[in-house]
A = this chain, B = another copy of it.
Amino acid sequence: MSTSRQGAREKRTGRRPGASGTREAILAAAKRQFAEFGYDRAPLRAIAAEAGVDQKLIAHFFGSKQQLFVAAAGLPLNPAEVLPTILAGDRATLGDRLAGFLVSFLEQPELHQRVTGVVRAAASEPAVALMLREFLVGEVVAPVADLLGTDDAHFRANLVGSQIVGLVMARYVVALEPLASMPPAAVAAAVAPTLERYLVGQLAPAAR
C-alpha cells in the first residue's frame, strides 16, 4: 500500500531541473524499487530507467548500490563502512568499542531520530523489513562474519543486531525509564559485554 502511495507521490517530482532534481529522482526511484522488490532484486539498471537517467549518474551521485540504499532507506550512516574499523582492533575491547560508538552516535538527536525512523518503518512496513533484511544480511552480516571468520559468525552478527535494535526500541522508541535517561557511558558499559560475547565470546555452554 505505502509502496504505491510513495510511487504516486514521487512521480510528481518528474521534471529534473538540474543536479538536485536528478539526485532526487534517483532517490525516489530507488525507494520505490527497494520497497517493492527488496534490496537484492532491484537492479541499478531498473532504478535508473524508472528515474529516467543514465545508470552512470547513480554512480556519480551515490557511488555503489549499497550507498544508494543507505541514502534511500534514510540510514544515518553506512554500517558496512563503520564496522570494519571497529572490528579491526583488539578483540578484548571489541564490545566496548562497538557499544561506545553506538551509544554516543545515537546520543545526537538528529541521528537517533533517523535510526528510530528506520526501526519504526521496519516494524510496521513488511516491505521495509524485507529490504532491510536483504541489505543487512548481504552488506552487514556477511562482511562482519568474514571479519570474525568463525563458523557461527552469521548467527553472532544477528545476535549483535538483536541487542542493538532492542536498545534503540527500549531507550528511544518506547523510552523505558530509567534506561531512557541513563548517561550514555552507563548504557554502553552495561551493553558492551553482551556485544563482546555475541561477537567473539562463548555463545552457549556446550551446545548439543
A-to-B contact residues, CB < 8 Å:
119-120, 122-124, 129, 132-133, 136-137, 141, 154-155, 158-159, 161-167, 169-171, 173-179, 182, 185-186, 189-194, 197-198, 203-205, 207-208
Q: Output the least CB separation between A164 and chain B (Å).
A: 7
Contact of A154 among B162, B177, B208 (CB under 8 A): B177
What is the interface of chain A mostly: helix, strand, loop, or mixed?
A: helix
A81 to B155, CA, bound (A): 32
Can you sample 15 A-B contacts with CB below 8 Å?
A120-B124, A122-B173, A124-B124, A158-B177, A158-B178, A158-B179, A162-B176, A163-B194, A164-B166, A165-B170, A186-B204, A189-B203, A190-B198, A190-B204, A192-B204
Q: Output the least CB separation between A139 and chain B (Å).
A: 13
Q: Given contacts A119-B123, A159-B190, A194-B197, are A136 and B166 in contact (CB under 8 A)?
A: no
Contact of A173 among B123, B141, B204 (CB under 8 A): B123
A161 to B177, CA, bound (A): 11
Contact of A194 among B120, B171, B194 (CB under 8 A): B194
Contact of A178 among B120, B155, B171 (CB under 8 A): B155
A120 to B165, CA, bound (A): 13
- Which chain B residue has the least Cβ–Cβ distance from A116? B123
Contact A189 B169 (CB under 8 A): no
A191 to B162, CA, bound (A): 10
Contact B204 A189 (CB under 8 A): yes
Contact B159 A191 (CB under 8 A): yes
A191 to B197, CA, bound (A): 10
- Which chain B residue has the least Cβ–Cβ distance from A157? B176
Contact of A166 among B154, B163, B185, B197 (CB under 8 A): B163
Q: Given contacts A120-B123, A123-B123, A177-B137, are A190 and B129 in contact (CB under 8 A)?
A: no
Contact A136 B179 (CB under 8 A): no
- Which chain B residue has the least Cβ–Cβ distance from A180? B158
